[in-house]
Amino acid sequence: MTQKAVEVLAGPDRTRPFILMVEAASIDKQSHVNHAAGAIWDTIELDLAVGWARRWAAQRRQPDTLLLVTADHAQSMIMNGTVVIGDDKLFDRTPVYTAQNSAAVGTQTAKVYRDVHSNIRAIYPFNDIDPNQTGPGGPPAHQRSPLVAALGYGSLGAYEFPDYQDENGDGYPENRQVGEKGKVRLSVGFRTGSHTADSVPISAEGPGAFLFTGVMDQTDIFFKMAVTLTGDTEEGDRLVPLLRHPRCPRTIGIR
Ligand SMILES: [Zn+2]
């Protein structure tokens, strides 16, 4: 999609100026329902799109393309480490333990599943995203997700994403069985199904990239882009080659 959009916007002789925003929106959508595999999968897709765009920009005769990569907010997913767990446990959607806590503010129910060591879900109800559910809900949230319902997956264990094994070396990650126990998987955890208030990173490459250093308000990004489009950034851009000097530790992304 990124490739086609750039081809159309830049025109047949690749000379038309353009602004393109590419969004990997499922990183967020899958996080809302605490579906770590889905969020990670779409992050890989974003990485492929960014990689294509970087190669396209690098092939320009003049370095005339500013490439920015950022997020509009974060989600509560964290990576706790790794854990060895088999498919039988990971895909078992039968709760093995249910804990309930009643207090003056209401009752909270937490269900524990057999993949608890690899996917710690938020214990809060997800009623807010499912109008048909009454009373306290709980994980696995993605089964009640309107996204999953829209795709027609009604039964337990119907995952809406392909297996992430890479048998043919096309660049997607391998994850093979280790002995009898299963596969080494990321251990992830969610605290909520909502956006967080974290600061998010931004990376920049190309003319005007030096403007995007330090800490900034998100609304500054627009004005920094405007400066790059309308002004001469040549003087500042000369800073970047200095980072290639052998006395500087290597900076990834600096060509
Ligand atoms: Zn969201």
In the reported structure, the alpha carbon of residue 177 is separated from the centroid of ligand 1 by a whole-number distance in angstroms of 33
Residue pLDDT, tens place only, 177-235: 555 555 667 778 887 778 898 999 999 999 999 999 999 999 999 999 999 999 889 99
In the reported structure, the alpha carbon of residue 73 is separated from the centroid of ligand 1 by a whole-number distance in angstroms of 8
Residue 165 has pLDDT above 70, yes or no: no
Angle between helices 2-10 and 36-58 (to 10 degrees): 30
In the reported structure, the alpha carbon of residue 71 is separated from the centroid of ligand 1 by a whole-number distance in angstroms of 11
Element (H, E) at 83: strand 78-85
In the reported structure, the alpha carbon of residue 185 is separated from the centroid of ligand 1 by a whole-number distance in angstroms of 25
Mean pLDDT confidence for 74-78: 90
Residue 24 DSSP label: -
Residue 143 has pLDDT above 50, yes or no: no
Q: What is the pLDDT of residue 177?
A: 59
Element (H, E) at 41: helix 36-58
In the reported structure, the alpha carbon of residue 16 is separated from the centroid of ligand 1 by a whole-number distance in angstroms of 33
Mean pLDDT confidence for 54-78: 93
In the reported structure, the alpha carbon of residue 160 is separated from the centroid of ligand 1 by a whole-number distance in angstroms of 19
In the reported structure, the alpha carbon of residue 145 is separated from the centroid of ligand 1 by a whole-number distance in angstroms of 13
Find all residues with CB under 8 Å of 226, minimum gap 6, and list them: none
In the reported structure, the alpha carbon of residue 7 is separated from the centroid of ligand 1 by a whole-number distance in angstroms of 30
Residue 50 has pLDDT above 90, yes or no: yes
In the reported structure, the alpha carbon of residue 76 is separated from the centroid of ligand 1 by a whole-number distance in angstroms of 11
In the reported structure, the alpha carbon of residue 193 is separated from the centroid of ligand 1 by a whole-number distance in angstroms of 9
Find all residues with CB under 8 Å of 121, minimum gap 6, and list them: 34, 113, 138, 139, 140, 141, 189, 190
Residue 157 has pLDDT above 80, yes or no: no
- Beta bridge partners, 102, equal 107
Nearest to 142 by CA among 101, 185, 93, 69: 93
Find all residues with CB under 8 Å of 255, minimum gap 6, and list them: 58
Element (H, E) at 185: strand 182-189
Residue pLDDT, tens place only, 99-115: 787 877 777 777 777 77
For residue 139, whether the previous peptide bond is cis, meaning omega lies within 30 degrees of 0, is no
In the reported structure, the alpha carbon of residue 109 is separated from the centroid of ligand 1 by a whole-number distance in angstroms of 24
In the reported structure, the alpha carbon of residue 86 is separated from the centroid of ligand 1 by a whole-number distance in angstroms of 31
